[in-house]
Chains A and B, each alone.
Chain A
Amino acid sequence: MKAPLSWLKDYVDIDIPVSELEKKLFDGGLEVEELIYLGKEISRCVVGVITAMEKHADSDHLQICKLDCGDEYGREIQIVTGADNVFVGAHVPVALDNSTLAGGVKIKKGKLRGVESNGMLCSGEELGITDDMYPGADVYGILILPEDTVPGTDIKEVVGLDDYIFDIGVTANRPDCQSIIGIAREIAAILGKKVKEPALDFNAVKEANDEAIKVSVEAGDICPRYIAHFVKDVKIEKSPQWMRKRLFLNGLNSINNIVDITNFILLELGQPMHAFDLTTLEDKTIVVRRAKDKEKITTLDEKEFELTENNLVICDSKKPVALAGIMGGLNSEIKDNTENVLFESAKFARDSVRKTSRALGQTSDSSLKFGKGVDEYTTEMAMKRALHLIDELGAGTVAETHFDISNGDKSVRTIKTTFAKINGVLGIEVPKETIVDILTRLEFNLEVNGEEISATAPLYREDVYSYEDLAEEVIRLYGYDHIPASKLDTAEVTDGGLNLGQKLEYKMKNALAKQGVFETVNFSFYSTKDLDMLHYAEDAEERNAIRILNPITENYSIMCTTLAPVMVNTIVRNYRNGNKSGRFFELAHVFKSEEASLTKLPEEIMTLSLGAYGDDENFFTVKGILEGMAEEFGLKLEFIKSEKSFLHPGMTADILVNGEVVGFMGRLSHQVEEELVLGKPSFVAEINYDMLKQHFGVSMKYVPISQFDEVERDFALICDENVTCGEIESTMRKACKYITEVNLFDVFRSEKLGVGKKSMAFNVIFTPEDKELSAKEMDKFTTKILKDLEFKLGIQLR
């Protein structure tokens, strides 16, 4: 809310410096987001009187003036001007040597065609003002000031630039402060002063033809209050300068006296108003109703809208004439020849206005205000104020014809409580007198009876319901610096800290970080394009994603069903940023639902994704990361050859724990790597963390070190290409129960071995249980192992 200091001063006597006021407003909950000094660009510009003029010898349009700028600046300053509206005796703005003007223009003394000029005479434009701000400022030429202006006076004081605009952040619970009067009331309360309420009196004249006007409200549920008043014999004119200046300082253009009155009241009281040209209303009728489906209206800004039953409209007997609370219709606009006006001051339900405004994409100062909330007290006050201004401006004759249709709750809310309850919220003892004083300053109606207090909030405060609200009012004016930081005084025991599952999550993250993997955080949504990127089939489960109804962009339009595309994007982005390698993981939810349109909460599955790329990465470095992580939880992962639409057919595996598939890993297919112009081998893995963690429960138990020596044997085997390491290992383990480790240490292929053959060398460790393993026993085991390998897998010893 922008509030000019000069306007605030109309309602409250502000006798402290602006910086102090800014601080007090801040402490009271009205943060001054910006304090703008209107004259900040203007310096060393003062009132001067032309005492003498002569024509410049070398110019036919330049004049040499002598100026009296008072004792401080000089009584005989010579300035050359090209303007032709100046005369001896004129009071004018003088920009002295080294002065600055609007737009950062600097003025220095110099010579104009050989004649010394010690500054410049200014126009209104050069001071950054218009007629609305100061009469005569729009005149082409030098701004001629009134004769009573004193030479040497700072020009900012004369033209109204010695003023401040407070741009105040108003919280959503205080729509009443979205107005000059609201801010003034707060300042008055803070300073302990009385508010000078705006004048509301007017003279109404009874006329015979008044009776013909009809006003009714059909949609009372979304129009709790509708007040209309008839004004006749309207003279459309320019508004007086004081009103135009108020509008100008708040960034509004003056239009004509009637429209300006409605805009002025919106700023002053925070009540949006509207004025209809009565003669354009069919049957002189106003009906407040929901629009009919496909009904149309063209608003003042000449935009046409097709409406639905969700939109509240003001209609005459036939057609909509205004979008309620948003904008008037072009058909009932005030024109230069308008004579009869029907003023409207209403309260429309804030969500109705907001929804219509959003649905139609049409906003206005009025709709924004209604969206924040309007109180009925002000609705009533605003109509009186408008009629007062009609009278004051002589803009028309106020008739007696008045309509006031109310569907709202009129009950007065009185909070009955005790001082102890109020202080109980705060935890400090604010003295009774102080509480009474503060609430009185805030215009609460109080009844105090010993320790009990009944408080009725002023009618413009619809945010106060309970003693907690009173506590807030008290403390914000008493000062939050009275609140001491206190420890809890009850020693209630609570079970704090992470639960086991949460601890294991951190352990898992640290286990990955230990192996050079960096945690990433990505948005939980992506688009179907990301699924296309990884060639998911049309009927793939991953495409069954939950769609956001109002996404910001198509790129973030569906909830993630898999983290793989997100991880691939992380790799691609890093590669394109010039990073040669990287290892990443993310732990985040993916979202699954059977329903296309949600009626219940979907399943959120905690998912771990892993990605790695770079010249040093291969299938086994990435597999090793997962194995290393699993080992910290006492888990052994199993990998079974598999396939995925976006992974290398020869380098893809399902990941199993205790026989259950929990995820997959693999290298991106050559096709995908090429499509993404990825110049490094890239790997991704994804694990259903919720499933994985089910297996985490292993508790650490010490196993005594064997008293007997372990025995090692190396086996160099020749086998067919399609025999896997996993098959060999499990065959070996089955053949001898003493085997505790099977470590592959070499694989090679050669011409000598022949096509389709490979050699694999294993180091096998046998751990005795209760006695040493004898050479004879070892021979027996070896024979059995080799026999099984040959029989089951056709493997020969090399």
Chain B
Amino acid sequence: MQSKIDSLRVEIEEALKGDVNREAFKAAREKYLSKKGIVPSLMTELRNFSPEERPVMGKLINEFKVWAEARFDEVEEGIKKAELEKKNSAEAVDVTMPGIRNNTGALHPITLVKKELIDILSGLGFEIFEGPEIETDYYNFTALNVPKDHPARDAQDTFYFSDDILLRTHTSPGQIRTMLSKKPPIKVIVPGRVFRCDDDATHTPMFHQMEGLLVDKNITLCHLYGMLDRLAKSLFSDDVKTRLRPSYFPFTEPSVEVDVTCCECGGSGCGLCKGTGWIEVLGAGMVNRNVLIECGLDPEEYSGFAFGIGLDRIAMLKYGMNNIHILFDNDIRTLKQFKKHDK
């Protein structure tokens, strides 16, 4: 029996030798280890032995069977491992190939700037009001302390529909509409489209502004500066410096321009800021008493400040565009760039 087992052991090793494939392996396993296979069949030979010898032989056969099963398992493990490796390598990808994704679009740069300003100012307690784009002379001029013969009406080359109805030349009518509809404290911003008869390299007949208005008791120029300094820092960076300088708008008194240190050169002077180190970003001032009176507010009780920002100009400054017309060309190669923006 021992010799038979030994020769079977050699036979099995022979069958499992080398890169045995799964089919040959299965056949060999079937041949040796299935119920009626050669190894289990050895048990049937026990009857040829005497009862004294049978336990010894039985043990020999069992040990051999355990060995054979372990041997087959071991080889099968190897086969599985080889198969997995083959599969893995077949499935391997070039990780540097482009990812597959849905193409996304983007919001327009003016919308991005507008949203950013709204986020900053709504955080400071301003609500958002949107007035009509076609306005009356009263809201656009008269109530804003721009009487009929005022030269400012010329500067603002207005599109008219009739003597009294026009395309708003600024978002300032929003100040009047707000003050007529609610009592102070007022903190409101008015973003929107505005229109002027101008179409050249640096002007478009339509552009965008955002008006701001704050009215309460004891508001001073210091508060105006504090708010607009904060706004400029949030919009550009905490490093920018701001300054006020005298200006004129009929609806504010005193009136100022707010300049920020040039975002391109940081204030040392460059082409963008024409060597001055400063860039004009918005106009502002203390609400003119005539405007308060027109809106039924007593200028001895209330004061406030207003400001106006050109959204197109801010977009051009922030994104480094040198021509306002780019904003209205809507070329997809431009628009695609705004998938990424900082805020």
Contact = CB atoms under 8 A, between A and B. Distances in A.
Interface of A: 26-29, 31, 171-175, 349-352, 354, 371-373, 424-428, 466, 468-469, 471-472, 475-476, 480-481, 483-490, 492-499, 502, 506, 509-510, 512-525, 546-553, 556, 559, 570, 573-574, 577, 579, 582-584, 588-589, 591, 597-602, 604
A11 to B, nearest CB: 22
A583 B105 contact: yes
Main secondary structure of the interface of B (DSSP, over half): mixed
Given A372-B151, A513-B104, A513-B106, A522 B221 contact: no
Nearest to A569: B330
A783 B60 CA distance: 70
B193 A485 contact: no
A523 B185 contact: no
Contacts of A31: 245
A502 B128 contact: yes
Interface string B6-50: 000000000000000000000000000000000000000000000
B161 A549 contact: yes
Contacts of B199: 552-553, 556
B238 interface: no
Given A427-B220, A485-B229, A584-B330, A512 B246 contact: no
Give the 3 A-B CB pairs with smallest separation, nearest first: A427-B220, A29-B246, A427-B222
Interface stretch (B65-73, B86-94, B131-139): B131-139
A426 B222 contact: yes
B329 A573 contact: yes
A549 B229 CA distance: 41
Contacts of B54: none
A427 B221 contact: yes
A520 B289 contact: no
A610 B332 CA distance: 14
A349 B148 CA distance: 11
Interface in B160-188: 160-162, 164-165, 167, 185-187
24 contacts: A31-B245, A172-B150, A172-B151, A172-B250, A173-B250, A424-B218, A472-B246, A472-B253, A481-B243, A486-B226, A488-B219, A488-B227, A493-B125, A496-B123, A497-B128, A513-B106, A514-B102, A514-B105, A521-B108, A574-B331, A588-B193, A589-B193, A591-B133, A601-B134
A354 B154 contact: yes
A26 B205 contact: no
B330 A520 contact: yes
Contact of A496 (B105, B124, B136, B195): B124
B105 A513 contact: yes
A172 B249 CA distance: 8
B61 interface: no
A552 B225 contact: no
Contacts of B110: 521
B328 interface: yes
B223 A427 contact: yes
A428 to B, nearest CB: 6
A171 B248 contact: yes
Contact of A601 (B136, B218, B220): B136
A328 B128 CA distance: 53
A487 B226 contact: yes
B111 A509 contact: yes
B105, B132, B229, most chain A CB atoms within 10 A: B105
Given A471-B254, A550-B197, A601-B135, A579 B332 contact: yes
Interface string B230-272: 1000000000001111111010011110000000000000000
B122 A498 contact: yes
Contact of B148 (A26, A351, A476): A351
B221 A518 contact: no
B240 to A, nearest CB: 12
Given A514-B105, A518-B335, A483 B244 contact: yes
A572 to B, nearest CB: 11
B154 A371 contact: yes
B82 interface: no
B159 A171 contact: no
B92 to A, nearest CB: 30
A521 B246 contact: no
Contacts of B190: none
Contacts of B154: 354, 371
B330 A570 contact: yes
Given A494-B187, A495-B127, A589-B133, A516 B102 contact: yes
A570 B332 CA distance: 9
A559 B206 CA distance: 12
B222 A486 contact: yes
B342 interface: no
Contacts of A549: 159-162
B124 to A, nearest CB: 7
Given A175-B151, A509-B107, A599-B165, 10 more contacts: A427-B223, A484-B226, A486-B225, A492-B216, A494-B186, A509-B111, A549-B160, A589-B193, A600-B165, A602-B134
A427 B217 CA distance: 12
Interface string B296-332: 0000000100000000000000000000000111111
A174 B248 contact: yes
A570 B328 CA distance: 10
B165 to A, nearest CB: 4
A87 B248 CA distance: 59
A488 B186 CA distance: 13
Nearest to A372: B151
Contact of B125 (A424, A469, A496, A517): A496
B106 A518 contact: yes
B210 interface: no
Contacts of B250: 172-173
Name the residue among A481, A518, A525, A601 with the largest chain B CB count within 10 angstroms: A518
Given A28-B246, A349-B149, A468-B288, A485 B226 contact: yes
B64 interface: no
Contacts of A556: 199, 205
Contact of B118 (A466, A498, A509): A498
A480 B243 contact: yes
A486 B330 CA distance: 41
A69 to B, nearest CB: 36
A3 B217 CA distance: 43
A224 to B, nearest CB: 12
B336 interface: yes
Given A552-B197, A573-B331, A476 B160 contact: no
B84 interface: no
B101 to A, nearest CB: 10
Given A496-B123, A519-B105, A521-B328, A506 B286 contact: no
A318 B214 CA distance: 58
B80 interface: no
A379 B303 CA distance: 37
B202 interface: no
A483 B222 contact: yes
Contacts of A548: 159-161, 167
Given A498-B128, A556-B205, A425 B220 contact: yes
B161 A522 contact: no
B204 interface: yes
Contacts of A486: 220, 222-223, 225-226
A272 to B, nearest CB: 15
Contacts of A481: 243
A321 B331 CA distance: 57
Contact of A582 (B288, B303, B332): B332
A28 B245 CA distance: 8
B221 A425 contact: yes
B152 interface: yes
B81 interface: no
B333 interface: yes
A513 B115 CA distance: 15
A48 to B, nearest CB: 37
A435 to B, nearest CB: 14
B103 interface: yes
A494 B125 contact: yes
